[in-house]
Amino acid sequence: MIRRALLSVYDKTGLVEFAHGLTDLGCELIASGGTARALSAAGLPVTQVDQVTGFPEILGGRVKTLHPAVHGGILARRTPAHLAELASHGIAPIDLVVCNLYPFAATVARPGVTEPEAVEEIDIGGVTLLRAAAKNFESVAVVCDPADYDAVLREVKAKVEAEVEPLNLNLNLNLDLNLNRRLALKAFRHTATYDAAIATWLAGRGAEEQGSGGAREHDLPQQIILAAERVQALRYGENPHQAAALYRWVGAAPAFEQLQGKELSYNNLVDLEAAWAMPGEFAEPAVAIIKHTNPSGLASAASLVEAYRLAFDCDPVSAYGSIIAVNREADLALVQEIGSLFVEVLAAPAYTPDALAWLAAHKKNCRVMVARSNDFSRSGAHETTEVVTTSGLVLRSVAGGLLAQTPDDRGVDESTWQVVTQRQPTEAERRSLAFAWLATKHVKSNAIVFVQGTATVGVGAGQMNRVDSVYLAARRAGDRSRGSVAGSDAFIPFPDSIEAAAVAGVTAIIQPGGSLRDAEAIAAADRLGLAMIFTGERHFRH
81 and 26 housed in the same domain: yes
334 and 267 housed in the same domain: yes
How high is the pLDDT of residue 173?
45
Q: Say how far apart CA 75 and CA 94 lie, in whole Å.
A: 9
459 and 392 housed in the same domain: no
Task: Examine the fold and report which residue of 405, 429, 450 is the final residue of a domain before the chain moves on.
Answer: 405
478 conformational bin, left if phi > 0, alpha if psi -120 to 50, beta if neither: left
375 and 465 housed in the same domain: no
User: Any idea what the Cα angle at residue 428 is, between residues 425 and 430, rounded to 5°?
Assistant: 50
Q: Say how far apart CA 408 and CA 219 lie, in whole Å.
A: 13
How many other C-beta atoms lie within 10 A of the C-beta of residue 420?
18
297 and 389 housed in the same domain: yes
Residue 303 in domain: yes
Residue 419 in domain: yes
From 20, 159, 262, 292, the catalytic residue? 292
Q: What is the CATH number of the domain that holds 92?
A: 3.40.50.1380
CA distances, 325 to each of 98, 286, 451 (Å):
46, 8, 19
Q: Is the pLDDT of residue 129 over 80?
A: yes
Residue 206 in domain: no
Residue 239 in domain: no
Q: What is the CATH number of the domain that holds 362?
A: 3.40.140.20
Q: Is the pLDDT of residue 257 over 90?
A: yes
Q: Is residue 292 annotated as part of the catalytic site, yes or no?
A: yes
Q: Is 339 helix (H, G, I), strand (E, B) or coil?
A: coil
Q: Say how far apart CA 493 and CA 515 lie, in whole Å.
A: 6
Q: Is the pLDDT of residue 472 over 80?
A: yes
Q: Say how far apart CA 271 and CA 273 lie, in whole Å.
A: 5
11 and 121 housed in the same domain: yes
444 and 471 housed in the same domain: yes
Q: Is the pLDDT of residue 380 over 60?
A: no
Task: Examine the fold and report which residue of 137, 168, 201 is the final residue of a domain before the chain moves on.
Answer: 201
CA distances, 50 to each of 33, 42, 43, 55 (Å):
10, 20, 20, 5
27 and 168 housed in the same domain: yes
400 and 524 housed in the same domain: no
137 and 61 housed in the same domain: yes
pLDDT grade, residue 385 (50/70/90)? very low
pLDDT grade, residue 139 (50/70/90)? confident
Residue 316 in domain: yes
Q: Is the pLDDT of residue 374 over 50?
A: no
Task: Examine the fold and report which residue of 201, 234, 268 is the final residue of a domain before the chain moves on.
Answer: 201
Q: How many domains does the chain have?
A: 3
Range of the domain at 456: 414-534
65 and 193 housed in the same domain: yes
How high is the pLDDT of residue 316?
96
From 20, 82, 135, 262, the catalytic residue? 135
Nearest to 75 by CA among 126, 137, 127, 30: 137
Q: Is residue 135 annotated as part of the catalytic site, yes or no?
A: yes
Residues 296-311: what's their mean pLDDT?
97
159 and 261 housed in the same domain: no
Q: Are 433 and 510 in contact (CB under 8 A)?
A: yes
| Amino acid identity for residue 7 in this structure | L
State which H helix or E strand residue 144 sits in: none
